[in-house]
Structures are given as C-alpha cells and as structure tokens.
Chain A
Amino acid sequence: MKTPFAITLDAGSSLLNKTGSWRTERPVYLDRLPPCNHACPAGENIQQWLYLTEEGRYEQAWRQIMDDNPFPAVMGRVCYHPCEVSCNRGQLDEPVGINAVERFLGDQALINEWHMEAGAPTGKQVMVVGAGPGGLAAAYHLRRMGHEVTVYDASPQAGGMVRYGIPKYRMPREKLRAEVARIEQMGADLQLNTRIDDVIAARDEGKFDAVFLSIGAQLPKRVDIKINGELPVLDAVTVLRNTELEEPTGLRGQVVVYGGGNTAMDVARSAVRLGAKSATVVVFEAREHMPAHEFEVKEACEEGVELICLRAIREVNGNEVTLEKMVPSEGRWPQPTGQFDTITADVVVQALGQNVHTDLVETISGIKIAEGAVQVGIDMQTGSPGIFAGGDMIPSERTVTTSIGHGKKAARNIDAYLRGIPYDAAEKHELITFDMLNTWYYSDAPRTVRPMLSVMRRQSGFAEIVGNIDQDNATFEARRCMSCGNCFECDNCYGVCPDNAVTKLGPGMRFEFKYDYCKGCGLCVSECPCGAIKMTPEEI
C-alpha cells in the first residue's frame, strides 16, 4: 500500500490496544437479594412480580407469586406486609404499595379464572391436618409436586383463622373461597367437619406416606379476673368464630375488650359493626408499645373504638370493671401503681393471645413440645419421622403469611423426604441495602393511596373497608419499585462507560463486559441505580 506523504505506518484501530490490562479490579454483574424478598415470610420474589406488573404482564406476575404463595387475593388483604416496612424506597420517599399490587393481581386471577396445574403423579400420599393457610399452602405445593393430598379440618369451612379469626371487613369470604377452590381444582381432597384425634391411626388407616400438621393456636389465653356478679367474660377466639358462623356473639351494650393486639382490635371493631353501644379496649401496654399494628389501631379509633392504655383489669363488681393504673418500666412489662379507677361494662372479652392445643400431638412418640409449641427441625420435621409441622403451632411470628411460608417449606421438605433425597435450599444472594443504590435515577413519585370506605359505612356493616387500586395505579405503583439488586436494563452501565466496554445483549438478555477494554474505573458500579454490579479484585 502506498502511504501518503509523511506517513510511514498504516493506520490501525485503537482496538489493537487492549486496555483491559490496566485493570486491578473488574466489574461483575450480579443479582442481590432485595429487602422485600428477604422480609417476605412466604419467600415471594416480590421484585420480580413487580417488574412483570410494570410491564403489564399480569398473568406472569401472578404466576410468579403463585410459585411461592397460593393466596395472592388473601395476602393482598390480610398480610401485614413486612416487605413494605423493609422497602428501600421508604428511605427515599415512601415504600412501594406492594400489598395493593398483590391484591390487584390476586383479584385479576379470580376475574380471569387463571388456574394452576398439578404436577405429574408420584403415587405418594400426604395427610394434612388443618385447613388453615399453612395446611392449604402445603397441600397446594404438594399437588404441584404431584403428590396426592388429603386435608382434614374440624370446621365446616376451610381457611382456618383467615376465616374464623379475621373479620369479613378485612377479608371478604368470596375471595378466600375462590382461592381455596383453586387448590381443590388441582386435586387436593378437602375433608371438612372431620376432626383428627389420633394422627398415627389416621395416617396408617389412610396409608399416607407423610403428614403435615398445621392445627394453629386456638386455645384462648385467659387471666383470672375476680368476678362478683353475672357479667359475662368471653374470649376473642370464640367471639370471632361465632361472628363468622353468624351465631350469637354476646357482644352488646358496653363492650370492654382486654388486650392490645390485632385480635383485640378485631373484636372491638366487630362489636361496633354489630351495634354495640360502645367498644372500649383496655390495653396493658403504653399506646406506643401496643402489639397491634398501627394502621389497625388507627382504623379502630376512626370507627369509634376507645382505647384505655396502661391499665390492668383487676376485678369486676356487677357492671363495674376495676382497672389498676400501670406505669412503664425499664423492663419488658409495665408495673402496677396501686391506683385504681373503674369503667362500666355489659360484657368483657379477653383477647390476650392463644395457645396451641397440644393434646393431638402429645401422644405421638418422639414429638417434642416446649413452651407450649411443637418443636421442629430446620426441615420442619418433628421428632417423629415423616411427621412435619408448621404454622402457629410451632414457634413463630404467628401471621398468615408466616404460616403460608411454613406450608411451602414443609412441602419442599416433605417432597425431599418422599423421594429419599436431602432438600437443598438454594443459596441466598447477598442482601442489598439502601446505600448500595444510586437513587438519582429514580423519578420522584409519591405512593398511591388506596381508597377507604367511609367511617359511617364501616360502623354499620362488615363490607370490605380497603378498596381496590385500578390497573393504572397498579402499574404506576409497580413502576415505583427500584428493582433493588436486580438489573432492569436501564442502560446506565452501557451509557456511562468511557471505554465503550459494555455490550448490550438485547431485551431480557442484560449486558456483558468487554474485559479486553474495561479499565476498571468503576463508573458503571457507581451509576448503576439498583446495585446490580460490583467490583471484585483481579487476580494478579
């Protein structure tokens, strides 16, 4: 080749110069564990289903939930959403309304009649005792794995505490019924009105290969109150159950509820709806230390429920209830003061928590019970081989979502047990924290507020009080997700690389580094909004 004047070498491309050799650290793409997923007791991949919702792929989003949790419509109503509490967006403006989106997806599934299929039959049979959220979740997952499942429950309807403990105004029954029916359609056999008194005999008679116990905690805790006179003293479990069965509840006149938890709120709020003259909750703790969730207390007060905090009920004389004033202390519990006052009541309801009915398991050899709860290993198996347990009957948070998580975990371990192989849970990714994000790239967007029923209507009936968000709002809310720790293909790394050392692989395929040219400046890591890249030292 003839070169022009003053040029003695042929021109070449800079691509010959492999600047990757400058590098001492290399960027690598990774998936980190978003705090919502980490906090979800049912182990949902929330970040992923929000991503699918954002794209308008509702059915896929719903199926993503269904991989872990068969009750999106129930969850979207009764879950206390620890995901939102831990949401990184809460440190930027407000958490993503995950619960509202879950409800939207759950309801979409019911409207469109989306179904799940059972797995290929394995020939194995599993007995589940208790048709509450834990037992039903286990049954659902076992059906997906192809095992035959029979669920026994003493009550006339499935749902456990979701039905007999959570009032209708929070959990409309048709939604629960529809989600249970979907599990039945997958071939789970529900035997209601059937109390199991002898687990071993029932297992042997039915030729079951494994057992999952999930009978909950239904025995009301009571404190002894000295009663002079005829004032009825009821317990919350029975009152709520009778409310559900539309039997007389005994809630009338001036109702006094004793307890500071969510159940106490449920009773007081039900009393308002049933036409009680007043509903007063006597709380042992200070207002800010009440175990009930803040929104429950707030809503109860809106509906006219009255709170009297830092009081203990000491005795009842006729219609007069004597309360002792308590003072907060350094320790766990408030201390008595010796000062008293009184209120009047027509009925007192104790809502002080529940214990596990351990009679069922006490006779089974090998099962260990400690502090009123059944002890299980990390595989959810009790001391009796092949008998697994979960839900409120084992030491736990005692929420619906926790039970559903237990059901899933138990199903996976039962499956491994039936196949005779150890269950290996997938290793968890590193948790992503707020400081690993670059929030500059997220647009300012306030949270969508869910519509609420007017107080008047809330006081007069059991209609659902929290309204739906519509499709636009659901998509908007899902878009507020920052996709913590998981690439959403924003192109920032591809954009900010001064060395053009990032290859874009196309939609859904993410990116790849050109390590021949990457100088290791780390700009991609700094400017990745969601913390899905990290620098790792080169081996030199």
Chain B
Amino acid sequence: MDRSNSLDSGHRACQGCGEALGARFAIDAAMRATNNQLIAANATGCLEVFTTPYPETAWSVPWIHSLFGNAAAVGAGIAAALRAKGREDVRVIAQGGDGGTTDIGFGCLSGMFDRNDDVLYICYNNEAYMNTGVQRSSATPGAARTATTMPVGKDPGNVFNTGKSVPLIAMAHLVPYVATASVHDLHDLEHKVTKAMGIHGARYIELFVPCPLGWGSKPSDTVKIARLAVECGLYPLIEAEHGELAGVTKIRRQTPVEEYLKLQRRFAHVLKPANVHQLEQLQAIADRNIKKFSLIEEQGGQE
C-alpha cells in the first residue's frame, strides 16, 4: 500500500503522540479519497506547532495556518474561492485541537455548519490545551487533572457536568455527516474520513487522540488508552447523517472505566478510596453512553 505520508517524519510531537498518528491517518485517507487534490487549514495548537517550526514543515500537502480560532472560517473561505474558480476537483479540510474547536473556534465552526460550507472539519480531541501547558478546555472530562483544574479539595480535578459535546452540537446543525473515531481503530478512522470526503457540505469528525504528556501516560500506551476509552464506554464511536444517528461501533470487550483511568496520572486521584464518588461518576457516564448509544450487542437470547 502506498501512502502519501502527508505528515512526514521529523516533526516535533512528543513520543507516542496520538494527535500526530491521528492526523497522518486522517490526512492520508483524505488524500487518497481526493486523488491528492487537498488543501488543509490548521488552527493554532500542538498540531500546528510541532509540524511547522519555521522554516521547516512536516506537511506534504498545501497547508495554511492563520489564527487559533478561525480554522473553520479559513477553510470556508478556501472552499468559496475554489467554487468561484470552478475548481471542483480540489477539496478542503480544516483541522485543530479541542481548544481551537470547542472553545476558541466554536463560533466560526458553528457558522461553517450553518452555511453548510463544503469543508471537512477534523477535531483532534486530547481533552485540554496541551500546547500551552495542559489547561482545561470545554472537552476536558470530569475529575481530570489539568494545570487549571488541580487535584485538590473534596472534588479534585475538573468539575463534573461542565463542558460540551461538539459531535452532538454538530448533529444539531443537521450537517450531512458527523462522526467520532479513535486512533485505536485506524481502519475505522480511515473509513470515516473516506466516507466524509465522498460527501459535499459541512462535515465534522472528532478523533480521540491520547496525549502522553498531558495525560501522564506512557507513550507506548497511547493506542491502548484510546482502545480502553472506547471499550469502557466513555468515548462512543458514532456516525450521524443529517442530524440522525446512523451507526455506532459496538463494544467488543467491555472493561470497567478503572482500566482506562489507571493508565493516566491525570486521573490518579480518582482511584484513591477518598474519591470513589468520582470513579462512580465516571462509570455512570460510561454506563449512560452505553445505554444511550446501544453500545453493547444484544445477546439474541443465546445463553
């Protein structure tokens, strides 16, 4: 198999970076799907910083960085320019981290969805602002330790029942395609990106990309952690078309959330007896996801 290696060696991502892995797969899949006729707009963030320390670049795809919050708008603008020039063959991706997507770039993203601009927006979700030193974002889960949600007090780490789910918000815009994917299932990730590139209009894919530095995990555990997040139910893999849920990836080997949490220092306090209520809260979230998205295969009456 030839792959374009759109994100090539020599980039400065940390060892075991989930985002670097996810981005290479996503952009390579998009390149294949578009016959290499692709332009990428990038928000500020790790992905931008580690790939393009001036004057070097790890990208072998036409690539533009403008601001932290405007990747969706830049992508929409490129798509408009291509339409004006009659270039139907060239497609556009806008991409950024969860900070640049769920917080800072949220207005631009919502506008892009609203206008149904012909852009695939990919959010690499590592659940905090890693580039600037691990600050909380609106994608940070409850109880997680960040620089701004320290594990102190009665309810250490990030506050529960805050933040937002951008995939569900994207669905509420009734855009043609929304999906979540994870770096533990790269075939599924490729499949979803390829499918998205076969559709016109505003599309949104969120990739779950563990961050060894920010999460306090072993670089060699990146894929394992992503797998456990999905298998425990905390990160459901879904697809939606025009606002309707169109598919879910069933859990194959269900695990308690503890298995996922214990590999990450950002959740170390959750596993202490004093904070068992946090563990229960996280398990409840997983259980709710499993029920809400029917993540467990019905047994069909056998045994």
Binding site for B on A (CB under 8 A): 7, 9-19, 22, 440, 491, 495-501, 504, 514, 516-517, 519-523, 525-527
Contacts and interface: CB of A to CB of B under 8 A. Distances in A.
Given A440-B227, A498-B20, A9 B9 contact: no
Contact of A11 (B13, B21, B51, B56): B56
B56 A499 contact: no
**Looking at chain B, what size class is its interface with the partner chain?**
35 or more
Contacts of B56: 11-14, 16-17
Contacts of B58: 13-14
Contacts of B176: none
Contacts of B12: 14, 17, 19
Contacts of B9: 14-15, 19, 499-501, 514, 516-517
Given A14-B51, A521-B16, A526-B221, 14 more contacts: A7-B55, A9-B55, A11-B56, A11-B57, A12-B57, A13-B8, A14-B58, A499-B20, A500-B24, A514-B9, A523-B219, A523-B220, A523-B223, A526-B223
B186 interface: yes
A22 B10 contact: no
B224 interface: yes
Contacts of A516: 9
B32 interface: no
Contact of B16 (A10, A514, A523): A523
Interface string B183-217: 10010000000000000000000000000100000
Contacts, number: 101
A94 B76 CA distance: 54
B220 A19 contact: no
A17 B54 CA distance: 12
Contacts of A504: 1
Which among B20, B54, B56, B212 has the highest number of chain A CB atoms within 10 Å?
B56
Contacts of B18: 498
Nearest to A22: B15
6 contacts: A9-B54, A19-B10, A500-B9, A500-B24, A514-B9, A521-B17
A496 B55 contact: no
A18 B227 CA distance: 30
A526 B223 CA distance: 8
Contacts of B222: 498, 521, 523
Given A13-B56, A440-B227, A496-B21, A521 B8 contact: no
B262 interface: no
Interface in B1-43: 1, 5, 7-13, 15-18, 20-21, 24-25
A14 B220 contact: no
B223 A14 contact: no
A520 B224 CA distance: 17
B78 to A, nearest CB: 18
Contact of A520 (B10, B15, B21, B55): B15
A22 B56 CA distance: 18
Q: Is the interface of A mostly helix, strand, loop or mixed?
A: loop
A12 to B, nearest CB: 5
A295 B211 CA distance: 51
A496 B223 contact: yes
A217 to B, nearest CB: 47
Given A14-B56, A500-B5, A520-B15, A525 B220 contact: yes
Contacts of A520: 15
B10 A14 contact: yes
Top 4 nearest A-B pairs (CB, nearest first) are: A522-B220, A14-B10, A521-B16, A517-B9
B219 A14 contact: no
Contacts of A495: 25, 186
A525 to B, nearest CB: 6
Nearest to A526: B220
A526 B226 CA distance: 13
Given A15-B10, A523-B219, A498 B17 contact: yes
Nearest to B186: A495
Contacts of B223: 496, 523, 526-527
A163 to B, nearest CB: 45
A522 B219 contact: yes
B220 A521 contact: yes
Contacts of B13: 498-499
Nearest to A495: B186
Contacts of B57: 11-14
Which among A15, A495, A527 has the highest number of chain B CB atoms within 10 Å?
A495
Nearest to B23: A498
A19 B15 CA distance: 10
Contact of A15 (B8, B17, B253): B8
A18 to B, nearest CB: 7
B36 to A, nearest CB: 17
B10 A517 contact: yes
B8 A12 contact: no
Given A13-B57, A498-B17, A521 B219 contact: yes
Nearest to B212: A521
Nearest to A517: B9
Nearest to B16: A521
A14 B212 CA distance: 22
Interface string B38-67: 000000000000010011111000000000
Contacts of B17: 498, 521
Contact of A498 (B10, B16, B218): B16
Interface in B226-253: 227, 253
Contacts of A497: 21
Contacts of A12: 55-57
Contacts of B55: 7, 9-12
B220 A499 contact: no
Which among B7, B18, B21 has the highest number of chain A CB atoms within 10 Å?
B21
Contacts of A11: 55-57
B192 to A, nearest CB: 16
B63 to A, nearest CB: 11
A522 B224 CA distance: 12
A510 to B, nearest CB: 15
A164 B13 CA distance: 69
Nearest to B51: A14
A127 B143 CA distance: 78
A22 B15 CA distance: 9
Nearest to B231: A440
B221 A17 contact: no
A268 B132 CA distance: 79
Contacts of B16: 498, 519, 521-523
A17 B10 contact: yes
B28 to A, nearest CB: 10
Contact of B224 (A19, A501, A526): A526
Nearest to A3: B55
Nearest to B13: A498
B24 A16 contact: no
Contacts of A19: 9-12
B185 to A, nearest CB: 10
Contacts of A521: 15-17, 212, 219-220, 222
Contacts of A491: 1
